[in-house]
Chain A
Amino acid sequence: MESASDFSLDYFIFVLIVYTSAIQMGAALGGFSGLSWFRHRSVGFMFSFLVAVVANVWFFNSTDRNVRSVVEGSQQFGFFVGAGFLALVINTAFSSLVRARDFRQNSGPGAAVHGLEALRQTTFFHAVARNFRRK
């Protein structure tokens, strides 16, 4: 039988992968190029869908997950929040790195665009840097 720590790690990785792919799918559907890892929205959508399916197949088929009290409710909530936060960090950081060259011309000072709308024309790191430069 799998130990509680192995199960917890599997669960954390599962939630992290599913959330990361969900954010990528959202970025593809919403047209937030600066948040997406891919230039083409359709590629981003397909990639995130496949990754989510693979993560589910791996998690539910690698071992029996219906076992008693392995991940308690409060632990589960902690993994939810932790994995969600980490997925957001991974998405913003990775997209900022891999798409930096694509948005280089938009990294200078420009009109103030706040919120997710800014990520249509630039990456997260560029948007934050632009904000600091303006100040």
Chain B
Amino acid sequence: MSPGASVFLWINGLAGRFAPLDYLMRVIASDYFMIVLMCAIMLVMWFGTSDLKTRERDQKAIICAAIGLGLSNVWVNLINNVYFWPRPFDAGHAVNLIFYRPPDPSFPSNTAAVTFAIATAVFMANRRMGGVFYIMAATMGFSRVFVGVHYPVDILGGAALGSATSFVAFKLFHWSEPLPSCLVWLGRRLYLM
């Protein structure tokens, strides 16, 4: 049995019992909901802070989140090319599948890598909003297990990968002065920052 398979079976066993919960989990686990919502909240943060210093700090974190998101995707694709870990429904488990069958490997979870990359970059600059993003990322991770497309270990692997990538991106970004200041200068000239 794959690592975390018993936890997977317990969480996935909750599916199919209560239709409204199934519907909610299908929306949250969707490829289109949580990431669009996170990006929309980052846009609100970008424009929505009246204090200049706080806004500039948040905007730099959002740039780091974008870098972390892109790099996490690259790492996941590289790992997927080296190793193919089958999805739970392809591994012979009795899965309550209430989602479509993704054809790509199970480990690490791409969505977890991306959402935790965003959450970590925001958390490094803004603890309160970062906490909100972590809750959103964890909820999406849980929903992916609930609907039957990931083992918990896939989510943990993706979360670790995304978080580490964004942590390094955040540190490198701030060590690479004057590049961030040049970006801010350009953004201000274009009335964007």
User: Contact: B41 with A22, CB < 8 Å?
Assistant: yes
**Closest chain B CB from A56 CB (angstroms):** 8
**Closest chain A CB from B35 CB (angstroms):** 8
Residues of A within 8 Å of B, CB-based: how many? Answer: 42
Known contacts A59-B32, A65-B30, A115-B187; A22/B43 CB under 8 A: yes
A58 part of interface (Cβ distance < 8 Å): no
**Closest chain B CB from A123 CB (angstroms):** 10
User: Contact: B103 with A68, CB < 8 Å?
Assistant: yes
User: Contact: B48 with A30, CB < 8 Å?
Assistant: yes
Q: Which segment, of B49-57, B117-125, B164-172, B175-183, faces chain A?
A: B49-57
User: Contact: A73 with B193, CB < 8 Å?
Assistant: no
User: Contact: A68 with B188, CB < 8 Å?
Assistant: no
Within 83-132 of B, Cβ neighbours of A (below 8 Å) are at 99-103, 110
Contact partner, A80, options B39, B41, B44, B45, Cβ 8 Å: B39
B18 part of interface (Cβ distance < 8 Å): no
User: Contact: B101 with A22, CB < 8 Å?
Assistant: no
Residues of A within 8 A of B48 (CB): 25-30
Residue in A closest to B101 when the chains form the complex, CB atoms: A68
Complex Cα–Cα for A37 and B37 (A): 22
B33 part of interface (Cβ distance < 8 Å): yes
Residues of B within 8 A of A52 (CB): 40
Complex Cα–Cα for A128 and B191 (A): 9
Residue in A closest to B59 when the chains form the complex, CB atoms: A116
User: Contact: B43 with A76, CB < 8 Å?
Assistant: no
User: Contact: B50 with A18, CB < 8 Å?
Assistant: no
20 further A-B pairs in the complex, CB-CB below 8 A; given A27-B47, A28-B48: A11-B32, A21-B40, A22-B40, A22-B41, A23-B43, A26-B44, A26-B46, A27-B48, A29-B48, A30-B48, A59-B32, A67-B100, A68-B100, A68-B102, A80-B39, A115-B187, A116-B55, A116-B188, A116-B193, A118-B191
Show 10 A/B contacts (Cβ-Cβ < 8 Å), sorted by A: A25-B44, A29-B44, A29-B48, A30-B49, A30-B50, A56-B33, A67-B100, A71-B31, A115-B187, A116-B47
A binding-site residues for B, Cβ under 8 Å:
11, 14-15, 18-19, 21-23, 25-32, 35, 52, 56, 59-60, 65-69, 71, 73, 76, 80, 84, 88, 92, 114-119, 124, 127-128
B binding-site residues for A, Cβ under 8 Å:
26-27, 29-33, 36-37, 39-41, 43-50, 52, 55, 73, 99-103, 110, 187-189, 191-193
